[in-house]
Structure formats: structure tokens, C-alpha cells
């Protein structure tokens, strides 16, 4: 069908393209693109920017022959581009049949600079939109809550900030579908605003901007939009794709519009889950209650969690004895995107750990014992990344870019460093700075590096012991420098290790043709291996003196009457060279092998 229609149609795709633009280029509906991306494990909304490689995969799947547009001169490039995959989320919904998938509520995290109103906004949302039919419940702070808008639910994570968001990702949990970026309209873009944007982008989570504190006379939304543009977040009114909603968290204004926008984004994302299967998801928070024992807030990401279910959380297992929702009400089931407090685990689990329901206690015990064993035997996480290891990871096809979290002492160091680093590598393999900022290396930087498989590079900055031990535990590399050229040189070396290896044809053996035999199908050469080894099927060239008279392959290799794979120096052999018959006594057969030279 479509595949054949487009077969071989060339299409030129920019280095960075939004889903909508790509849809236009390929003349398909954006929904098609979003679906294709989702099946590749990428949750993108219509306004999201994807990179050429990602776009090319989609285009190829649709039968096009994509080619990259020459990169634009470096003027208005966004500060960071999204990373191409988010495997954590892919795994949660992998293998589900499309017909079992039903829409699920979006899960939202609120981010932004300190004091810009994240907490106030979360409170305002919760107060104005308690889920219908559940009024009267006493709101409990369980780490997440749900509100209802237009008869649809939205789940909010109650711990605002990108630090918590990325800490969860670092543990492997990707629960957020949409990030609300709170920017105080009287203050504008601040360091943590940028940081939040980088963290959301690294996770490929679409951003909705809440321009907060518009009740204040000093509020200047227009100016803030300009600042956002500078960090690559272009608001719709400025010709971009990012939605912004003016709000006053304090006065409860604009909340409805914000919720509507969240629902709209959710529609574009086509968020779905299979409520029929056994539940799986992530721990949002855990605590020890004096009377009830260990309590865990679980966010069901797929399936439905029910009382009585056996569940495995990390290396622990337990049975759901009782569940409570965010209003403290007892519930028997929790469908996808629902946060619930669960009683029945033996210990308090950590936020970001994943859980899943299994058939019975025996299975639960088996799995938890197995993962406890694995914990003991693996001293490092599955995906460590250091500059030294990049090379082998690249060979395994796991790494195609070197992601860097860059921390520097002063603003003035950023630009030159960024420029030197981004010049390194080539179009297949480059440095991608996923976050850059001034200041010492923080836990949040390390978590971002863990979650994004990045290295942390510091210039004239420090990393304290807490930060170092977190990095060590998760095998993230922090490299600190005080000389720019050393920093650049090291990265360059790592990249050269990462560059595609260069192969050269080396002569691994020589054989001299001593006698020509006529056989039924033509001629074979009786030869003496004079050095190295002669291999069947190996590429060869035949030399007469200095002249190469033939290049091809050994198609048959025999010792006496036996077919053999190889013949070593000092032995006779009989060899045939396909259709090539024009050899003579005295010709030399050089056997070649591709060998890596760098
Ligand atoms: P957070 O650090 O981002 O969680 O910020 P908070 O929610 O704690 O808010 C910081 C301060 O800004 C508090 O004093 C809030 O009362 C105030 N604030 C938050 N939202 C608004 C708003 O919409 N208008 C005004 N005038 N003040 C606000």
C-alpha cells in the first residue's frame, strides 16, 4: 500500500524537524508519524522536534528514501536537541496488541525555577478540580493526585521539579507524559528554568509553559516569551509550536485553560494502556507508617492493580493487602495512570523503582530472589558509560553520539567550550551537549547523566563527595578539568575511539602457482603456499610480476582431493578462482583480509 506508493521516493529532511513538519514533508497525517514514532519507542507530540536520524527511520519505514538537508549555518539552533529514544517507557507497553490498548490519563510533572510557583500551582489545581464523585475525601499527600476535567482524568506528580523527575528516570522509571514548565512572568527565564527544559527534553517529554503570577503588576509575559525563545522554546504566538497558558496560581486563574491544554497534548500523544493485563508501573514514593508499616505510592502505568495481587518491587515482593487513593479512600482496583498507596510490602521501596504483578506467591518469590542474586553479582548497572568505555559501546552499536552534561565556572566559558566540543566528530558521531550550566556538579546533573547515558564534564568546577558517590554507584563518569585544551583533547580522543573503524585490505598469505591442471569444468592451479595462509572464499589478487592481472575470490581450495578451509605456508594446494582461468605458472596469488587499521 503506502509502502509501495512511496517506494524509492526521495525526500530531503532537515537536521531537526517537528513531527508536524515531517508529516507535511511525507504528505501523511501527523498521527501516522506519531504512531510510527511510538512503535519505535519514541513518545513525541505533534510539536516536538525530532532529529534527522529519527525522522529518517520513520520516512524509511514509510517507503521513502530520506536524505539529510545540509545543516544550517549555526544561527538559531536550539540549545539542545532531544535524545532519540526513551527505552524505559518503551518496555512498559512493549508487545501489547493494539486492540487491547485503551486511552489512559496523562501523567504530568510540574517543573520550573524555585519560587516561580510550582507548589502553589499544584495546590491550586488540586483544589479546583477534585475528581467528581469523590468530593468529601480528605486530600492526602501521597506523591501524586488525580483531577478531573471534562470528565477526563489527569494525574499530577506531587513532587515538583526536574530533580525528582530525573532522579526517577535515573532509576529507570519514566512516568511523565507532559511537563508543565512554570515560569514566573515577573521574573522570567532563570537557571533552573533552563535546567528543567533540558531535563524534559532529554526525556523527550513535551513541555507546556504556564506563565505564572500574571496577577502581578510587574508581570511581563511578552518578555518571558522572548527569553524562552532564546533557549529554544518557541511559543505559538512567536511562530513556534510550544503552548503557553497565562495563569495565576495564587488566584486560581487560568487553571482550567491549563488543564485543557494538557488534555489536548494527551490527545496528540494518544496515550494508551492495556487495563486488562496484570499491573506494572513505578514507585512514586514510599514511607514507613508507625501503625501501618511500609507504605508505597505506586503509579500504575499499564494494567490494573487489584487488592490481593502479588507484586514484585525490585528485589522485594509482597501482596496488596489494601489500597487507598489520593483522597484516602479505600479502593479495590487501580487502572492505568492511577496513583495508589499500597499496604503489604515488607519494606519501603525507593521512588523510581519499578513494580509488577505476578501470578502467585511462588513466582513473586522466585523473581525477587533472582533479582537479589543479580544485585549481588552485578556491581555495576547495565549501562555504565565512561569515556574509555564509549568505544566498545559504539562497536556494539549502542552509542552513536557522546552525550555531555557540561558544567563550567562562568558563563563566558560556555560558548567557547561548546563550540570546540561540537566541532569534534562527524555527522555520524558527534558530541551532543544535553545540558550546560554554570556551577558545581550537582546530583541532578549526575542523575541526568545516568538517565541519558551521558558523561559529566566540568571545567573549573567541583563535585562534592555526595555527588561523586552517586556517580560512582551508578558508574557515571565525572571528568573535571582546569585547562580547556586538555578537556577538548580528551573528548576528541574518545570520539576517535568512537569513530567507525577504518579497514584496509592486508595480505595474509601468498601462494605461487606451480602447475596448471585441466579438470572437467576448466582449470585449477596447483600452488605452493609460500607465506601466511590461504583461505577458501577469501578475496585474492593474482599478480604477474608487479602487475595485478585479476582480483576476485578463491572459490575452491583442496589438499589432495579434500576440500579444505585453509592451507598454511609450506604446503601445496589446488585452487580455483571462479571463472578466471587465465593464470600461468609463476603467477602469485595474494590472499587478502580486511583488517582494522584504526
Ligand atoms: P515553588 O518554589 O516554585 O514551589 O514556588 P511556590 O509555589 O512556593 O511559590 C513561591 C512564592 O510565589 C509564594 O510566596 C507564592 O505565594 C507566590 N506565588 C505563587 N504563585 C503566585 C501567583 O500566581 N501570583 C502571585 N502574586 N504570587 C504567587
Q: What is the pLDDT of residue 96?
A: 80
Nearest-CA neighbor of 431 among 458, 399, 407? 399
Ligand 1 pocket, mutate which of 120, 126, 212, 251 (most atoms under 8 A from CB): 120
Give the phi and the psi of residue 356 in degrees, each rounded to 5: -155, 150
- Give me ligand 1 centre to Cα 134, in Å: 28
- Please give the model's pTM, rounded to 2 decimal places: 0.66
Rounded-to-integer distance, Cα 345 and Cα 320, Å: 7
User: If pLDDT is split at 50, 70 and 90, which confidence band does 230 have?
Assistant: very high
213 CA from centroid of ligand 1 (Å): 7
Grid cell at residue 72:
544550517
Q: What is the pLDDT of residue 137?
A: 60
How high is the pLDDT of residue 84? 36
- Give residue-wise pLDDT tens across range 499-532: 444 566 788 999 999 999 888 878 899 999 999 9
Q: Flag whether pLDDT at 1 surpasses 60.
A: no
Q: How far is the CA of 249 from the centre of ligand 1 (A)?
A: 7
Distance (Å) of CA 340 to CA 146, 276, 325: 10, 18, 5
Q: Quote the percentage of the chain above a pLDDT of 70.
A: 86
Per-residue pLDDT tens digits for 133-184: 455 566 678 999 999 988 899 999 998 889 889 888 888 788 999 999 999 9
How large is the average pLDDT for residues 115-120?
96
Closest C-alpha to ligand 1, atom 25: 213
Query: What's the CA-to-centroid distance between 115 and ligand 1, angstroms?
Result: 6
Coil vs helix vs strand at 182: strand
SS3 state of residue 187? coil
Q: How high is the pLDDT of residue 58?
A: 86
Atom nearest to 216 CA in ligand 1: 26
Lowest-confidence region among 8-17, 66-75, 411-420, 562-571: 66-75
Tell me: the pLDDT tens digits for 551-560? 999 999 998 8
Mean predicted confidence (pLDDT) in 476-495: 85
Residues in the ligand 1 pocket, defined by CB under 6 Å: 112, 114-120, 160, 212-213, 215-216, 248-250
Atom of ligand 1 minimally distant from the CA of 114: 2
pLDDT digits (tens, 9 = 90+) for 174-207: 899 999 999 999 999 999 999 999 999 988 899 9
For the CA of 249, the nearest atom of ligand 1: 23
Give, as one character, the DSSP assignment of residue 500.
Answer: P
Q: Measured from the CA of 116, which atom of ligand 1 is nearest?
A: 3
- For the chain, the C-alpha Rg in angstroms (whole number) is 30
Q: Which domains does the chain have, with CATH numbers?
A: 9-76 (1.10.10), 105-270 (3.40.50.300), 280-377 (2.40.30.10), 387-500 (3.40.50.10050), 504-596 (2.40.30.10)
For ligand 1, pick from 112, 115, 117, 118 the residue to mutate: most ligand atoms within 8 Å of CB: 117
184 CA to centre of ligand 1 in angstroms: 8
Q: Which of 110, 220, 249 to mutate to test the pocket of ligand 1 (most atoms within 8 A of CB)?
A: 249
Ligand 1 centroid to residue 243 C-alpha, Å: 21
In this structure, which residue's CA is closest to atom 9 in ligand 1? 117
Identify the residue whose C-alpha is closest to ligand 1 atom 22. Answer: 213
Q: How far is the CA of 210 from the centre of ligand 1 (A)?
A: 13
Q: How far is the CA of 131 from the centre of ligand 1 (A)?
A: 24
What distance in Å separates the CA atoms of residue 122 and residue 109, rounded to the nearest whole number?
10
Question: What would the grid cell of residue 279 be?
Answer: 499491573
Mean pLDDT of the chain: 84
> For 459-469, what is the mean pLDDT?
90
Q: Which ligand 1 atom sits closest to the C-alpha of 113?
A: 3
CA distances from 70 to 15, 53, 67, 126, 175 (A): 8, 13, 9, 48, 36
Atom in ligand 1 nearest the alpha carbon of residue 160: 4
Residue 367: strand, helix, or coil: helix
CA of 92 to the centre of ligand 1 (A): 36
Residue 383 clears pLDDT 70, i.e. is over it: no
Residue 123 CA: which ligand 1 atom is closest? Answer: 7
- Give the Å distance between the CA of 155 and the centre of ligand 1: 21
From the CA of 250, how far away is ligand 1's center (Å)? Answer: 7
Nearest CA to ligand 1 atom 18: 117
Which residue has the CA at smallest separation from atom 11 of ligand 1? 115
Model pLDDT, residue 381: 43
Measured in Å, residue 296 CA sits from the centre of ligand 1 at 29
- Please say if the pLDDT value at position 454 is more than 50: yes
Instruction: For residues 2-8, give the mean pLDDT.
Output: 52
**pLDDT tens figures, 278-333:** 999 999 999 988 888 899 999 999 999 999 999 999 788 999 999 999 988 999 99
Region 571-588 average pLDDT: 92
Distance 120 CA to ligand 1 centre (A): 6
Res 513: pLDDT? 95
pLDDT at 249 over 60: yes
Q: Name the residue with higher pLDDT: 369 or 587.
A: 587
d(CA 381, CA 375): 9
Return the best residue to mutate from 125, 250, 254 for the ligand 1 pocket (most ligand atoms within 8 A of CB).
250
* Count of CA atoms in the C-beta half-sphere (13 A) of 434: 28
Buried b / exposed e along 554-578 (16+ C-beta atoms within 10 A): bebbbeeeeebebbeeeeebbbbbe
SS3 of 375-434: the string is HHHCCCCCCCECHHHHHHHHHCCCCCEEEEEEEECCHHHHHHHHHHHHHCEECCEEEEEE
Separation of alpha carbons 274 and 20, rounded Å = 27
How many A from CA of 252 to the centre of ligand 1?
Answer: 12
Predicted local confidence at residue 85, as pLDDT? 39
pLDDT value at 379 more than 50? no
Name the residue with the closest Cα to ligand 1, atom 10.
Answer: 115
Distance 116 CA to ligand 1 centre (A): 6
Confidence band for 493, pLDDT divided at 50, 70 and 90 = confident
pLDDT over 90 at 219, yes or no: yes
Total Cβ atoms within 10 A of residue 78 = 16
Determine the Cα–Cα distance for residues 63 and 315; give it in Å rounded to an integer.
45
pLDDT at 378 over 90: no
Residue 448 scores a pLDDT above 60? yes
Give the per-residue pLDDT at 89.
Answer: 58
For 18-40, the pLDDT digits (tens) are 888 888 888 888 888 888 887 76
Task: Quote the ligand 1 centre to 245 CA distance (angstroms).
Answer: 16
| Nearest protein Cα to ligand 1, atom 17 | 117
Range scoring the smallest mean pLDDT among 78-82, 221-225, 312-316, 439-443:
78-82
61-113 pLDDT, tens digit each: 888 888 887 654 433 333 333 333 355 555 677 778 888 899 999 999 999 99
Picking from 476, 435, 440, the residue whose alpha carbon sits closest to that of residue 459 is 440
Please answer whether residues 552 and 580 qualify as being in contact, where contact means their C-beta atoms are separated by less than 8 angstroms: yes
Given ligand 1 and candidates 109, 114, 115, which is best to mutate, with the most ligand atoms within 8 Å of its CB? Answer: 115
- Burial annotation 492-531 (CB, 10 A radius, 16+ → b, else e): bebbebbeeeeeeeeebbbbebeeeeeeeeeebbbbbbeb
| CA nearest ligand 1 atom 14, residue | 115
pLDDT of 483 reads: 86
Amino acid at each position: 500500500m503506502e509502502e509501495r506508493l512511496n517506494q524509492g521516493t526521495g525526500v530531503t529532511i532537515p537536521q531537526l524537524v517537528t513531527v508536524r513538519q515531517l508529516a507535511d514533508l511525507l504528505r501523511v497525517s501527523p498521527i501516522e508519524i506519531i504512531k510510527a514514532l511510538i512503535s519505535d519507542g519514541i513518545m513525541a507530540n505533534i510539536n516536538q522536534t525530532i532529529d534527522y536520524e529519527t525522522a529518517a527511520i520513520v520516512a524509511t519505514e514509510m517507503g521513502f528514501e530520506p536524505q539529510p538537508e545540509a545543516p544550517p549555518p549555526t544561527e538559531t539552533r536550539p540549545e539542545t536537541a532531544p535524545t532519540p529514544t526513551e527505552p524505559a517507557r518503551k518496555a512498559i507497553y512493549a508487545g501489547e496488541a493494539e486492540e487491547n490498548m485503551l486511552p489512559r490519563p496523562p501523567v504530568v510533572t510540574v517543573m520550573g525555577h524555585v519560587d516561580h510557583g510550582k507548589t502553589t500551582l499544584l495546590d491550586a489545581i488540586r483544589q479546583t478540580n477534585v475528581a467528581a464523585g469523590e468530593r468529601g475525601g480528605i486530600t492526602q499527600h501521597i506523591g501524586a493526585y488525580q483531577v478531573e476535567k471534562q470528565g477526563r482524568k489527569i494525574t499530577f506528580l506531587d513532587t515538583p521539579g526536574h530533580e525528582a523527575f530525573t532522579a526517577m528516570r535515573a532509576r529507570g522509571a519514566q512516568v511523565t507524559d507532559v511537563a508543565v514548565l512554570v515560569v514566573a512572568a515577573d521574573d522570567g527565564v532563570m537557571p533552573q528554568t533552563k535546567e528543567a527544559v533540558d531535563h524534559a527534553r532529554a526525556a523527550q517529554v513535551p513541555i507546556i509553559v504556564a506563565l505564572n503570577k500574571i496577577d502581578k503588576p510587574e508581570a511581563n509575559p511578552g518578555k518571558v516569551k522572548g527569553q524562552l525563545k532564546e533557549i529554544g522554546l518557541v511559543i505559538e504566538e512567536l511562530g513556534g509550536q510550544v503552548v503557553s497558558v497565562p495563569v495565576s496560581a495564587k488566584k486560581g486563574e487560568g487553571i482550567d485553560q491549563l488543564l485543557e491544554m494538557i488534555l489536548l497534548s494527551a490527545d496528540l500523544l494518544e496515550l494508551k494502556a492495556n487495563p486488562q493485563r496484570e499491573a506494572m508501573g513505578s514507585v512514586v514514593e514510599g514511607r514507613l507508617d508507625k501503625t501501618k508499616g511500609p507504605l508505597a505510592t505506586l503509579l500504575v502505568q499499564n494494567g490494573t492493580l487489584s487488592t490481593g495481587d502479588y507484586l514484585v518491587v525490585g528485589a522485594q515482593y509482597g501482596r496488596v493487602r489494601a489500597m487507598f487513593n489520593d483522597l484516602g479512600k479505600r479502593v479495590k482496583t487501580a487502572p492505568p495512570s492511577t496513583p495508589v498507596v499500597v499496604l503489604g510490602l515488607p519494606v519501603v521501596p525507593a521512588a523510581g523503582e519499578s513494580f509488577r504483578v505476578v501470578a502467585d506467591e511462588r513466582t513473586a518469590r522466585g523473581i525477587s530472589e533472582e533479582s537479589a542474586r543479580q544485585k549481588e553479582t552485578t556491581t555495576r548497572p547495565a549501562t555504565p558509560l565512561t569515556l574509555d568505555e564509549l568505544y566498545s559501546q559504539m562497536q556494539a552499536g549502542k552509542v552513536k553520539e557522546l552525550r555531555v552534561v557540561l558544567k563550567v565556572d562562568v558563563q563566558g566559558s560556555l560558548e567557547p567550550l561548546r563550540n570546540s566540543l561540537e566541532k569534534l566528530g562527524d555527522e555520524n558521531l558527534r558530541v551532543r551537549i544535553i545540558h550546560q550550566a554554570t556551577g558545581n556538579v550537582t546530583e541532578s546533573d549526575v542523575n541526568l547523566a545516568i538517565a541519558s547515558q551521558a558523561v559529566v564534564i566540568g571545567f573549573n568546577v567541583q563535585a562534592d563527595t555526595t555527588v561523586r558517590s552517586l556517580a560512582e554507584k551508578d558508574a557515571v563518569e565525572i571528568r573535571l578539568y582546569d585547562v580547556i585544551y586538555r578537556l577538548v583533547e580528551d573528548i576528541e580522543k574518545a570520539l576517535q575511539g568512537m569513530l567507525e573503524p577504518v579497514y584496509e585490505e592486508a595480505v595474509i598469505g601468498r601462494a605461487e602457482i606451480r602447475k596448471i591442471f585441466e579438470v572437467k569444468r576448466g582449470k585449477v592451479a596447483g600452488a605452493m603456499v609460500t607465506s601466511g595462509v590461504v583461505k577458501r572464499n577469501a578475496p585474492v589478487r593474482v599478480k604477474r610480476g608487479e602487475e595485478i592481472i585479476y582480483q576476485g575470490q578463491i572459490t575452491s581450495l583442496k589438499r589432495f582431493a579434500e576440500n579444505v578451509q585453509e592451507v598454511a605456508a609450506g604446503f601445496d594446494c589446488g585452487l580455483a578462482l571462479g571463472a578466471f582461468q587465465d593464470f600461468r605458472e609463476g603467477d602469485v596469488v595474494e590472499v587478502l583480509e580486511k583488517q582494522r587499521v584504526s
